[in-house]
């Protein structure tokens, strides 16, 4: 889940390449919702090796109320910190 600087909008999506997708969000290379609302702060994520399960989970989360989504984020990330810098650092450790 991504949000903007003020945590006023949420975006839920699935990707098979988090590095590429975050680059697109952070650089607004794709027109649409995330570019329009400056959504580039990663506040929650889940991983699965099964793309079908990932898509089903995405649809489930999109059907939730904002309050339920907020509770999910806050259970894992109470300060709504941007998780991308830490994740990017971890991913770069694997490429060395």
Q: Is the pTM of this model over 0.85?
A: yes
Q: Is pLDDT above 50 for 67?
A: yes
Per-domain residue ranges of the chain: 2-95
Would the pLDDT of 95 be above 70?
no
pLDDT tens-digit series, residues 3-56 = 999 999 999 999 999 999 999 999 989 788 998 999 999 999 999 999 999 999
For residue range 52-65, what is the model confidence (pLDDT) as tens digits? Answer: 999 999 999 999 99
Quick one: 61 exposed, middle or buried, by C-beta within 10 A (0-12, 13-18, 19+)?
middle
Cα–Cα distance for residue pair 60/33, rounded to 1 Å? 19
């Amino acid at each position: 889940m991504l949000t903007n600087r003020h945590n006023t909008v949420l975006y839920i999506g699935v990707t098979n390449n988090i590095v590429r997708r975050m680059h697109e969000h952070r650089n607004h290379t794709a027109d649409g919702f995330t570019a329009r609302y400056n959504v580039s702060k990663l506040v929650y994520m889940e991983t699965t090796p099964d793309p079908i399960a990932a898509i089903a989970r995405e649809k489930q989360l999109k059907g939730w109320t904002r309050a339920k989504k907020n509770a999910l984020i806050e259970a894992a990330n109470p300060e709504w910190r941007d998780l991308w810098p830490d994740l990017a650092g971890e991913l770069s450790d694997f490429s060395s």
